[in-house]
Structure 1
Amino acid sequence: MRLNYTNSRATFIFAILISFFTILSAKSQTLALLEGNSQNGNITGEVKTNDNSPVGFVSVMLKGTTKGSITTEDGKFQIRNIKAGTYTLIATYVGLEAQEKEVTVQAGQTSQIDLVLPHSSQQLNEVVVTETRSMNKKPVAIGKIAINPLDMPQSMAVIDNKIISEQQASKLSDVIKNVNGVALGTTRGATSETFFARGYNLGANNIFKNGARSNSAVIPEASTLERVEVLKGSAALLYGNVSGGAVINMVTKQPKFEYGGEVALRAGSFNLYKPIADVYGPITQNLAFRLIGTYETAKSYRNSVESERFYVNPSLLYKLGSKTEILVQGDYLKNDLTPDFGIGTLASKIPISISRSAYFNTPWAYNKVEQTTASVNVNHQLNQNWKLNFVGSRQLFNRDYFSTERIQANARGDWGRNLTRSKIAEDYYTGQVNLTGTVKTGSISHTLLVGTDAESYLNTTHTFNLKTAYDSINILDPTKYIARTDMPVSPIKSRTETPTYRFGTYIQDLISLSNKFKVLAGLRWSYQKLAVAKIYDVTSNEVTKSTTATTRYDRAFSPRVGLVYQPRTNTSFFASYSNNFTPNTGKDVYEQNLEASIIDQYEVGVKNDLLKDKLSVNLTFYKVINNNLAQQAQFLADGTTINTDANIKELTGQTTSDGIEVDVNGSIVEGLNFLAGYSYNFMRYTKTSGENGSYLEGERLVSNPAHTTNATLFYTLPYTALKGLKVGVSGFYTGERNAGWNTAHVVKYGKDGSVSRTLNYRLVPVSGFTTFDLSLGYSYKQLSFIGKLSNITNELNYYVHENYSVNPIPPRQVVTTLSYKF
């Protein structure tokens, strides 16, 4: 199916953009004069090592001034608006010898200066690295091109390894809670984590690892990550079928051409034990390795709940000459945990009188997951201005699950336990090629990204011969019934295979009309084929039938345009518009594949670097309109039977999401690092049919808190006898939200021709909550220790999935890490 209305709108917008660029190009010389460029000059250049490799993140300063820059990942830098005269340019980087070079700046001209930093011959016993780049000057890999975030008309966040290690993060949610506007949710049985941003669920399409799409049905290992990047809002231009909320990219640690590593032991409340090992170094002059491994075993504040995790992450980095790098990465995660539906609901309400530790599943319930990922990343420098990048990956995912389901007790506490058995496998291939570079057309410079990507995804599910009814228990009085403890036999009956194919091609251009005005424009064409599923008999391995669905084809253009105005080098105002289509997984009540949803997003904001880049303050406003949101269907095809299958969905109507986000980040005083944020979101239905089953307009969508706030501060004493002592405090607030399902219209037709209309209220209100963590650590030479007391006030609240998986948040607990670096 071709989405003609989207293509027409994209063509219309693209025609406007061409006209807009033509007008702006003609006016660019006038703008330059208005900015006073005739009085000032610029310096551009590139920094390399003596083996001709570009060096990113080098500090380049004009001696005796506050003017300076940080090189991008490909070694390039630019210093603008410099008064005419002769200066000394200084380039410094830890591990390389600093270099100085004289440069003459002429009014109205750009001076080109290249620098070579030799490898340092000095041996440093101790190196203290002070991060001088602000959050607005750290290019993110998830953007596919090294563009200064200050030049991007989009909000983004980066949580680096320093925060990850200081907070002793082990799960992705431990990291993401530092990103304002991204709230943690949960899945059925708390077997994985899910996140909501700008009103949208960030499912498997929105989670990436090293730039390749990653399965979200398992809790990722976070303690070995180098950083986590979050690109807020629409990223459809770069990644195709993603939701309008955000995309998350997990970046694992990479090999180094120097020997080193770290061993650590993490231990904490509820029998948490986690050894961590990280070793890296050169194998040959051009080949380096890194091997990271963790093992974790833990019980829980929840009775009978426990987990065991094993993770290993090997990688190789090969320098093929001076212009080509090949990075091969892999990881393997094995995670066994107890499915846990928490305390459930009592007459559709949260039974707060039930103990936080109460457990109602069977003693044998299990969730076993294995995930294997392999990727290759090739970077080739074609010349000084152009770079070619290739990323290919494969991911295998297997999940074996057997558990009771859906704790939904009646007012007396009685609950008839049912069973669910599932076995899922996913085989995922992805590939992308990106060409990036800079070019000039007259006085206008262009930073270009041209790319293409493709994916092949095979989902395999199984059905079982299983009697789902198990027994009955009472969640208020465990002695009322005798609970079963045996595990029923459940042989596999059939296997269903569903293939999906995706392809896209895109172009993006950051057009620098002058030092103050920039335009970001791009267009993507996406294609998806959702093939008919085949059902196999497991005994004969022959196709018994195909589902009644037909193969679905989706094609659409996704345009994006943004305007950036920088009145000063450290301040940026921006406005942008983007459009994308989101293919919807699952089937409708008639077993047909769902149509795609069309999403329009508008975003305006300001980014500021203050106090000589020691403080960053960003503010963003947005509006996201989804023409037809896909949700789990309330009823089956007969219109009366309640649907319990999450794969059976319906298109529920137009939604609108408005919001504001504030980010604060910096290091004003030596040794003091902090980040904070606040967000407000209001996502509601704005257009529905008003007929049977349709949702109530104006009501906030479930699972989305209105307000979230985060703040973290760490201070390390740089001097005195207590040098190395570290103190940290963190606070996190999740506002009120609703669980359950949104209110729906119910229309009934009487035999006498009468029509009655009522509203079916199934909301489960959940109050907001705040938690505080306190950390204390000390480092001496290569040895360090840090401990954290989390949820100091022992706050009690819940993460709720729909209206049956109600999981209490963790109570007050302690976690400590002892590590040794070598």
Structure 2
Amino acid sequence: MKRIFTVFFLLNILLVQASLAQTTNGSIKGKVKTSDGKAAAYVSVGLSQSGKGTATDEDGNYLLTDIKPGNYTLKVSFVGLTTQQQQITVSSRQQTVQDFALTESASQLNEVIITSGNSFNKPVSLGKADIKPLDLPQSMGVIPSKIIADQQAVRLGDVVKNVSGVSLTQSRGGVAETFSARGYSIGIAGSGGSIFKNGVISNTQGFPDASTLEAIEVLKGSSALLYGNVSGGVIINMVTKKPVFNWGGQISMMAGSYGQYKPTVDIHGPITKNLAFRVIGTHENADSYRDVVHTNRTYVAPSLLYKIGQKTDVLVQVDYLKSDLVPDAGVGIPNNRITVTEVPDAPRNRFLYPKWAYNNTKQTSGFLTINHRFNDSWKLTAIGSAQNTKVDGFGVGVPMTIAANGDWTRTLSAVKSGEKDYTGQLNLNGNFKTGGIRHQLLFGSDFTRIVSENNTFKYTTAAGVVGTAYDKINIYNPATFDVRNDVPSIADTALTTTPQNRMGIYVQDLISLTSKFKVLAGLRWSYQKAFQTTIFNKEKQQERRGTAADKSDDAFSPKVALIYQPIQTSSVYASYTNNFTINSGTDIYGDNLKPSIINQYELGLKNEFLNGRLSANVSVYRIQNSNFAQTALVDVNGNANTNSNIRELSGETTSDGLEVDFNATLSKNFYFIAGYGYNYMRYTNTTGLVGSQVEAERLINNPAHTANGSAFYTFDKGSMKGLRLGASAFYTGERTGGNNNVVGLNAGLNNTTAAQSSYNAQVPLKGFATVDLSAGYGFRRFALLVKVSNIFNELNYIVHDRYSINPIPPRMFAATLSYKF
């Protein structure tokens, strides 16, 4: 099959050469600047009579290709700006240059540039092929820096909740964010995650910082064609801020409830004519509405952009994160069966861990991106990255066996782990014609190496007692929490190293049969090898191999979509895509799990109205997973399983859903975003499995309904000039924590009442809505923005582990004072 890809690629290149030799069309390029000489980014550029259009890049440049010779009207416009137009003549095989100067200054432009969640002007970089959203047969969402700043977002989760159908969860101990979409969860580690930074896989341990984000991009459903072994529900790309060739920046200070303060500095500008820089730094210190919990974080992100002539640019980005926090496993669930609304005396601030518990993360990342344009039609992008994540934590295990009367025996638990992620990507994009058919071709390959390290420990008390037992408390009696507060000594006993390699080759072509009918087709070959683990015994200074042998998997992931655009502002699509998912971990017997095959079918309608000021999109989908993998409920001895690396295949699942999005920039003063998502993910075929899941039962931790809405208005006239008002609301529907029910126990396992109880332990959670109100005032270069979040002080919970839950934040206050220069 490798030969097939090679032949396919060579044939496409030959077709390109032939088409380039035959074409007689011309092109237009130019630069758009503001009245003060700065680049005007993301401004619309349209060509009358041809239907062609684009948007300027971050440096204000634009390019229109394959234009028939003739006379045209070239228009430059943006919502809230005065439209400019220029008569222009395009000649055969010639490139015409036309620059524009807007009447607005850069600061005025910044006030109106709000890229809507489904912008029809700017392609999603996560798509690799620069396909315009209207041509992309997939539901997506983009949340730009304007919304991030207006909502005073601090974490990635604060931003992602603006995307329809995506809900927030957390990892065990509440030390990182995870997400759920279309019935599938997204992990934090590179080995099992679907979160990317600037297009490459990223470990998000320690909470990514929202202050450095230019935008977040979300592709819903399967993206296996482009990224291989990723979630069947969604992938998230964090687009960080990059250098620009104009001096400027911002200094801000955020202060909030529970002693929170967060200064941020963002400075950018040119070093030479071809070299620009940007440095972003922030520090956060905060207590919490949860007793004892404290956060201390520092994040620094320098970057350089070097332009080698007109065709090549090199971007180097580095970031460093140091995040020290107190882990928090939540309120606890007595007897594993009692709903949180029935738990008496469960104050929002109750903290069940010892006061000395800690979780510290250090993470360093580096990215190198090279873009080269061969000509107006062909572009090559090369990306390389390396990320090193280290986590050091100590405390007690999650409260998974709390008795009905509130008694909980706490056992010691520690983590000392590391993950190294290395990624390389190469993408070739081309636009050409074969006869009268236009092609937008993507051909690429990627390689990822992930090396995970985990330690095991020996715990010793001051009295010399070795073991994991610590103490016994009663969660209803705070007086028992501090009976013991000594910190046992801890020693590493063994280091387990788990390497794996991934690679893929993919080709995709957006074929425009006519101006109304298009086809997107692609195929990916993926290969993944999980190497046998090595276990180094530090006490004996001996190394041995793990029980599971090397495991190799490969598969083809096709995608095909039909696109119909009856008018230029409307698109209807139907798509099929296949996702091949490698299941990490082992079963209870130590054997590797088989892969899961996921088929997705999606129908969608995308529209824009009011000259692009309003977009309204709707999609429906069905996702079928041949064999869903989840954490095993019990171990080989029939006892409750606490190891998330021990997993089981639970049979077929089906996820059906609907998503609706509205995004509007009605003027330079007013914008809103709104979305709704419905999902029904359930077990559909578990026949023949002993101890099988209950068919038609919803999977845990997947709300049926989610919704979001935000609106901001800025006054620019009269006595209220400079005043900004905003409101945001977010809804998460009913869902279930704990474990899904099973028909019976696995054959040969410990058939005890305790084991049976661990199987059928569900925690029903009611739906909840939170409302945030914002008000601000801007004067010249200064701005003050104030927010009250969860204004009605709603009490509900986020499931971060099947054994425990965490209360959402109460009513809180935050204010940010900023100065732009």
Instruction: Tell me whether the two structures share a fold, i.e. TM-score over 0.5.
Output: yes
Structure 1, residues 527-569: CA drift from partner, whole Å, max 9, x if none? 00000000012256541x2111010000100000001100000
CA separation in 2, counterparts of 1:806 and 1:535? 33
Q: Which residue is equivalent to 1:763? A: 762
The aligned counterpart of 2:290 is 302
Contact (CA 8 Å) 2:44, 2:56: kept in 1 or not? no
Match of 2:96 in 1: 114
Matched, 1:490 2:490: yes
Contact 2:115–2:144 (CA under 8 A) maintained in structure 1 = no
Note the aligned Cα RMSD (angstroms). Answer: 3.1
Relative to 1, partners in 2 of residues 1:522 and 1:126: Cα closer, same or farther, differing over 3 Å? closer
Alignment-derived partner of residue 565 in structure 1: 564
* Residue 31 (structure 1) aligns with: none
Compute the displacement of 1:126 (Å): 5.2
2:471: which partner in 1?
471
Deviation of 1:47 after TM superposition, in Å, equals: 2.1
Q: Write out per-residue CA displacement over residues 685-713 of structure 1, whole angstroms, 9 at most, x where no aligned residue.
A: 11113543321111000010000000000
Q: What is the CA–CA distance in structure 1 between the aligned matches of 2:364 and 2:432, rounded to whole Å?
A: 40
Match of 1:179 in 2: 163
Cα distance, 1:570 vs. partner? 0.2
Aligned partner letter, 1:75: Y
Distance 1:481 1:660, change over 3 A: closer
Relative to 1, partners in 2 of residues 1:402 and 1:788: Cα closer, same or farther, differing over 3 Å? same
Q: 1:691 to 1:809 in 2, by over 3 A?
A: same
Q: Over residues 51-91 of structure 1, what are the superposed CA-to-partner deviations in whole Å (9 max), with x where a residue is unaligned? A: 9xx9973432468x9977333658334899x9x99653234
Question: For 1:742, what is the secondary structure of its paired residue?
Answer: coil
Report the counterpart of residue 325 of structure 1 in structure 2: 313
Match of 1:163 in 2: 147
Name the structure 1 match of 2:602: 603
> Residues 357 and 748 of structure 1: is their aligned pair in 2 closer, same or farther, counting only changes over 3 Å?
closer
| CA drift at 1:159 | 0.2
SS in 2 for 1:305: coil
Aligned to 1:453: 446
Query: How many Å apart are 1:136 and its aligned residue?
Result: 2.8
* Residue of 637, 660, 663 corresponding to 1:662: 660
Deviation at 1:223, TM superposition (A): 1.4
1:337 Cα deviation from its structure 2 partner:
0.5
CA distance in 1, matches of 2:672, 2:78: 24
**Residue deviations 1:578-624, cap 9 Å, x none?**
00211111111122222211110000010000122111100000000
Q: Which amino acid aligns with 2:368?
A: V
2 CA distance for matches of 1:676 and 1:499? 42
Helix, strand or coil at the partner of 1:173: helix
Listed as ranges, the matches of 1:391-406 within 5 Å are 391-406=383-398
Distance 2:792 2:365 in 1: 40
Q: Please state whether the residue corresponding to 1:743 is helix, strand or coil.
A: coil
- 1:635 positional shift: 1.7
For the Cα contact (< 8 Å) 1:49–1:118, is it kept in 2? yes
Q: Quote how far apart the aligned CAs of 1:806 are.
A: 1.5
Task: State which of 302, 312, 331 in structure 2 corresponds to 1:343.
Answer: 331
Q: Alignment partner of 2:719: what SS?
A: coil
Alignment of 1:716-735 (within 5 A): 716-735=714-733
Provide the residue aligned with 2:589 in structure 1: 590
Residues 480/293 of structure 1: CA separation in 2 closer, same or farther (3 Å cut): closer
For the Cα contact (< 8 Å) 1:626–1:655, is it kept in 2?
yes
Q: Does 1:382 align with 2:370?
A: no
Q: Which residue of 1 aligns with 2:220?
A: 232
Matched, 1:499 2:493: no
1:71 equivalent in alignment to 2:55: yes
2:434 is the alignment partner of 1:432: no
Q: Secondary structure at the match of 1:164?
A: helix
2:404 & 2:521 partners in 1: Cα distance?
57
Corresponding residue for residue 819 of structure 1: 818
Q: Is the 8 A contact 1:695 1:743 kept in 2?
A: yes
The 1:113–1:352 alpha-carbon spacing in structure 2 relative to 1, beyond 3 Å, is farther
| Equivalent residue for 1:206, pick from 183, 190, 194 | 194
Please give the TM-score of this superposition, normalised by the length of structure 1: 0.88
Q: What is aligned with 1:32?
A: none
- CA deviation string 1:188-211 (max 9, x = no partner): 111111000100011243000011
- Cα deviation, 1:95-131, whole Å, max 9, x if unaligned, reads x9998543479xxx99987333278999867545533
Q: Distance in 1 between matches of 2:493 and 2:177?
A: 30
Q: Distance in 2 between matches of 1:93 and 1:255?
A: 23
What is the aligned counterpart of 2:672 among 648, 671, 674? 674
Question: How far is 1:758 from its partner?
Answer: 8.9
Residue number in structure 2 paired with 1:60: 45
Give the distance between the partners of 1:778 and 1:433, measured in 2 at CA: 46
**Alpha-carbon distance in structure 2 between the residues aligned to 1:397 and 1:170:** 21
Deviations 1:34-53 (A, max 9, x none): xxxxxxxx9984423499xx
Distance 1:476 1:184 in 2: 28
Instruction: Give unpaired runs (5+ residues) of structure 1.
Output: 1-6, 16-20, 22-41, 751-756
Aligned-partner Cα distance in 1 for 2:386–2:776? 39
* Counterpart amino acid of residue 388 in structure 1: L
Deviations 1:160-189 (A, max 9, x none): 000000000110000001001110011211
Deviations 1:456-491 (A, max 9, x none): 111011011122211000111233586210111111
Unmatched tracts of structure 2, length 5 or more: 13-23, 34-38, 460-466, 749-754
Distance 2:62 2:606 in 1: 24
Relative to structure 1, the CA distance from residue 679 to residue 388 in structure 2 (aligned partners, 3 Å threshold; closer, same or farther) is same
Q: Distance in 2 between matches of 1:314 and 1:608?
A: 39
Contact 2:690 2:747 in 1 (8 A): no
* Cα distance change of structure 1 residues 122 and 577 upon mapping to structure 2, 3 Å threshold: closer
Q: Which residue of 2 aligns with 1:533?
A: 533
Q: Distance in 1 between matches of 2:212 and 2:373?
A: 29
**CA separation of 1:422/1:61 partners in 2, compared to 1, >3 Å: closer, same or farther?**
closer
| Contact 1:189–1:805 (CA under 8 A) maintained in structure 2 | no
Partners of 1:152 and 1:286 lie apart in 2 by: 34
CA distance in 1, matches of 2:83, 2:271: 27
Change (3 A) 1:369 1:436: same
The 1:472/1:435 distance shift into structure 2, 3 A limit, reads same
Partner of 1:274: 262
CA distance in 2, matches of 1:725, 1:112: 49
Separation in 2, partners of 1:50, 1:679 = 38
1:508 partner amino acid: Q
CA offsets, 1:422-466, max 9 Å, x none? 100111100000000111000000000000000111101101112
1:410 aligned onto 2:378:
no
- Return closer, same or farther for 1:402/1:385 CA change in 2, 3 Å cut-off: same
Tell me the residue number matched to 2:623: 624
Task: Confirm or deny: 8 A CA contact 1:57 1:75 kept in the other structure.
Answer: no
* Superposition TM-score, scaled by structure 2 size: 0.89
Query: Does residue 47 of structure 1 match 2:46?
Result: no
Q: Secondary structure at the match of 1:137?
A: coil
Contact kept? 2:254, 2:815, Cα under 8 Å = yes
Residue 384 of structure 1, CA deviation: 1.4
Written as runs of structure 1 = structure 2, the 5 A alignment for 1:343-362 is 343-348=331-336, 349=338, 350=340, 351=343, 353-362=345-354
Q: Secondary structure at the match of 2:720?
A: coil
Task: Determine which of 89, 98, 114 is the counterpart of 2:74.
Answer: 89
Counterpart of 1:517 in structure 2 is: 517
Within 1, Cα distance between the matches of 2:454 and 2:495? 6
Partner residue of 1:143 out of 127, 140, 156: 127
Describe the SS at the equivalent of 2:741. Answer: strand
